Structure 1
Amino acid sequence: MPEQQTRSRPAAPRTPAGRHRVTAALTAAAPALGAYAAVRAVGLLVLHLWASAAGKDAVHLLGGRWDSVWYQRIAEHGYGYTATLPDGSLHPDLAFFPLLPALERALAELTPLTVRDAGLLVAWTAGLLAAWGMYAVGARLHGRRTGVLLAALWGVYPTAFVQSMAYTETLFTALAAWALYAVLRDRWIVAGALCVAAGLTRPSAAALVAALGVSAVAVLVREYRTAGGDGLLRRNRRMLAGVCVAPLGWLGHVVFVAVRESSPFAYFEVQAQWGNSIDGGRALAAFVVGLPLPAALGLCAALGLLAWLVFLCVRQRQPLPVLVYGLAIVVVSLIGSGYFGSRPRLMMPAFPLLLPPAVALAGPRTAVRAAVTVTVLALGSAAYGAWTLLGSGPP
């Protein structure tokens, strides 16, 4: 009798090997990766055609100008270069974080690629990883269709052309998306490690650190209210470890600059030399006031749309780490005194802002509307990207 009972039981499911889990996850994310790759391919095709008509090299436009050149110089020669502008102001390369140039140098040494081409490969690969991470976040919160559309909408963002440049936006967004996904799955050590890497990529990693910190505080407060303080820290030791590790990447670069320049505030002094400091939004207000009336009204309309997206994110009741991260990226991008034209690019990693429209387009009866919307946005983004890259100013 016991033998019959044993035989009648269903076999316990076996835990798949790690690579099988990755393969299954990649297969599930394939539609999102395909959609993202398709819209970015449209952008690259339009840029190639437009650049060819203008007698310019599209690859050079993507990998050989503006910030890309600074990263490549660091990859080839290390830190220590300072540019002197015609007005006498100084721009030290210490303002740039080290992870992208480190990856560029490693790829250039291990492969036949040039440093420029290595930077493009990192950016394009990181773009796919970012799309995968966004899909994972969107699918976990609202289903697979939302995850696919979230990745696609990020690929048609107005300044999505930067995702195809040898810049840090795709690398940072990939790390941020997967860090948030790790938090949603209570894998705080993984989230903290990814946050360290993000902190070696861009200063906006402070938003990601804030997201982890605020979420951890909320967990501790909630558990304290329900279960008291006995064993509270012990039960949450992995979460606390992840939060403590999270800022080390950003702090590491700040300390490196401080030691190199023999000043505890050297990093902030370097940023000030580049015109990047926190002014609470005064520079933004002055920029708007100084515009001609039609342009000022258009910019105010864009800022109103941004505020509406923020409101929708709050009303959507996004999980706290996702919400805090998105809002913090927006705030950091708006309260600085830097070059205004870069602000849309600086906000691009705030992909949670795209969750409300992704959910709206993911309904069972909105497939045609979603396809038309993404197609129109892809063409508009491609045209704007080519026009910007063929211009004289940095994005």
Structure 2
Amino acid sequence: MRLANGDVHSNLAFFPLLPWLERLVAAVSPLSYADGGFLVALVASLAAAWGIFAVADHVYGRRAGVCAVLLWAVLPVGIVQSMAYSESLFTALAAWSLYAVLTGRWVTAGTLALLAGLTRPVGMAVVAAVWVAAIAAFVRERRAGDAHDLGPRARRVLGMLLAPLGTAGYVLWVGHHTGKGPLGYIDVQAGWRNGFDGGYAFARFVAEKFTSFPSALAGAGLIAGVASVVWLYLVGVRQRQPLPLLVYTGVVTALALCASSYFGSKPRLLMPAFPLLLPLALALARLRIRRSALVLGSVAVASAVYGAFWLNGSGPP
């Protein structure tokens, strides 16, 4: 699709799993593609909430798991869970893949990572988590001299081999389809004026906010938001979150903050980084139930107001 300003927007930029599921729902029901996308997002949001609970419960206990789910539900951009966007589907696949890694189900982890890689480009974050956790497990076994049982090792290797097939397969297919080789997907993203520049464009975007007083408040808010994300990640490191969670969160956060375009979409792109919420969930779990409910209720109201402005803003959500 070519816009009036000359920009070329190819639908090949979108990974295929969500459209496939929309077509499947439309084929087996009277729903349209749009309604099918809404249904997929709704079901996926429930699966994502369950997966987030499973991960948090495994790491910090049941009460922290409940708080983590509630915090994810009241995020300012939580409205995306009720839209035909891929965040809910990706978060569900990522959360359950991470849970499978934490519980030693390597083939399941690799299969879910494959599917996550067919959902969004950031699926590489799930792949990285699977690979780093598997390599760490091999290193621990070698140091402990416990490398005689080939069954678990073979399943771990199989999980590692499965994990990157989704992302790599789609990127290579796009390159073949466009005739531009392995880097064809990068050209497709360039048509959307999107890419990875280490955060330079985003930094310029924030700096430009300080050219006038009203926009300077927005700039200060952006800086505070980014600082909060970095602080939450560092708290997770200090609290010794499991390695696969730290790797996954780090990659998702880096890709979201360092993309060179669509700055208004960055809060949405950070939604899958749910382990950032675990320090807050742990703190809420230590409060009395009444106080936790008051905090979450206040956040929900504030998020609803912010979400309304964000959803109806000038750019895409």
Is 1:190–2:112 an aligned residue pair?
no
- Counterpart CA distance in 2 for 1:232 and 1:215 is 18
- Counterpart CA distance in 2 for 1:294 and 1:392 is 18
Which deviations, in whole Å up to 9, do the C-alpha atoms of 1:150-185 show, x marking residues without a partner?
Answer: 111001112111111100000000000000111111
User: Could you say which residue in structure 1 is the equivalent of 2:179?
Assistant: 262
User: Could you say which residue in structure 1 is the equivalent of 2:213?
Assistant: none
Is 1:366–2:283 an aligned residue pair?
no
User: Could you say which residue in structure 2 is the equivalent of 1:304?
Assistant: 227
SS of 2:9's equivalent in the other structure is: strand
TM-score with structure 1 setting the length: 0.76
Matches within 5 A, 1:92-111: 92-111=10-29
- Counterpart CA distance in 2 for 1:295 and 1:354 is 23
Which deviations, in whole Å up to 9, do the C-alpha atoms of 1:199-231 show, x marking residues without a partner?
Answer: 110000011111111111111122222217x65
Stretches of structure 1 that go unaligned for 5 or more consecutive residues are 1-82
- Counterpart CA distance in 1 for 2:129 and 2:242 is 10
Which deviations, in whole Å up to 9, do the C-alpha atoms of 1:60-93 show, x marking residues without a partner?
Answer: xxxxxxxxxxxxxxxxxxxxxxx11222121111
Amino acid across the alignment from 1:158: P
- Counterpart CA distance in 1 for 2:165 and 2:126 is 12
> Alpha-carbon deviation of 1:233?
6.8
**Aligned sequence identity (%):** 50
CA contact (8 A) 2:48 2:88 kept: yes
> Alpha-carbon deviation of 1:333?
0.8
> Alpha-carbon deviation of 1:234?
6.4
211-220 vs 292-301, which moves further: 292-301
> Alpha-carbon deviation of 1:262?
1.2
Which deviations, in whole Å up to 9, do the C-alpha atoms of 1:123-161 show, x marking residues without a partner?
Answer: 011000000001111111111111111111001112111
Match of residue 321, structure 1, among 219, 238, 244: 244
CA contact (8 A) 1:161 1:381 kept: no
- Counterpart CA distance in 2 for 1:120 and 1:384 is 22
Residues 232 and 328 of structure 1: is their aligned pair in 2 closer, same or farther, counting only changes over 3 Å?
A: farther
Is 1:159–2:77 an aligned residue pair?
yes
Which deviations, in whole Å up to 9, do the C-alpha atoms of 1:273-319 show, x marking residues without a partner?
Answer: 11221111111111111112333222211111111101111011011
Amino acid across the alignment from 1:384: Y
Amino acid across the alignment from 2:231: W
Is 1:119–2:37 an aligned residue pair?
yes
User: Could you say which residue in structure 2 is the equivalent of 1:18?
Assistant: none
User: Could you say which residue in structure 2 is the equivalent of 1:346?
Assistant: 269
Match of residue 355, structure 1, among 270, 273, 278: 278
> Alpha-carbon deviation of 1:196?
0.8
- Counterpart CA distance in 1 for 2:206 and 2:309 is 23
**RMSD of equivalent CA atoms:** 1.5
- Counterpart CA distance in 2 for 1:234 and 1:139 is 28
Matches within 5 A, 1:200-349: 200-227=118-145, 231=148, 236-264=153-181, 265-292=183-210, 293-349=216-272
TM-score with structure 2 setting the length: 0.94
Amino acid across the alignment from 1:217: I
CA contact (8 A) 1:146 1:359 kept: yes
Q: Which has the larger radius of gyration?
A: 1
- Counterpart CA distance in 1 for 2:25 and 2:217 is 47
> Alpha-carbon deviation of 1:237?
1.4
- Counterpart CA distance in 2 for 1:233 and 1:297 is 55
- Counterpart CA distance in 2 for 1:202 and 1:235 is 29
CA contact (8 A) 1:130 1:175 kept: yes
Stretches of structure 2 that go unaligned for 5 or more consecutive residues are 211-215
CA contact (8 A) 1:159 1:381 kept: yes
User: Could you say which residue in structure 2 is the equivalent of 1:378?
Assistant: 300
- Counterpart CA distance in 2 for 1:260 and 1:232 is 43
Aligned residues: 311
Which deviations, in whole Å up to 9, do the C-alpha atoms of 1:88-138 show, x marking residues without a partner?
Answer: 121111000111111111111111111111100100110000000011111
User: Could you say which residue in structure 1 is the equivalent of 2:60?
Assistant: 142
